[in-house]
Amino acid sequence: MLNSIYRAILIGRARSAAEKTVAHMSPRQLNDIGFSKWSFVEEAVSKTIRDLHEADEHRRQKAITPAPTFSFSSLWTLFMRKTAN
């Protein structure tokens, strides 16, 4: 539940920031970068949603992947390599 509230806040802030940015740009500047006022805002919101989704997926994959287990002999070998240099 808190995660969905957090996502809603981030998406709202991204939308607000994009709207403020567009308010300070002329139509010519927007045309130069290839956006209209609302396509700029929608692109900013969709990028934020994509970034949040990628972060969630990365967190899920990290939770699924087991931590590597090391035996004493492998740790000793790594230690000896480190100290040899």
Interval 51-61: pLDDT, tens = 999 999 998 88
**Quick check: 41 and 22 in contact, CB under 8 A?**
yes
CA 1 – CA 63 distance, rounded (Å): 19
Note down the domain range covering 32. Answer: 2-84
Predicted TM-score of the model (pTM): 0.68
DSSP 42: H
Q: Say which residues have a Cβ less than 8 Å from residue 37's Cβ, sequence separation at least 6.
A: 22, 30
pLDDT of residue 67: 66
CA 50 – CA 10 distance, rounded (Å): 12
- Name the domain count of the chain: 1
Given a cut of 70, whether residue 44 has pLDDT beyond it is: yes
**1-5, 19-23, 43-47: segment of lowest average pLDDT:** 1-5
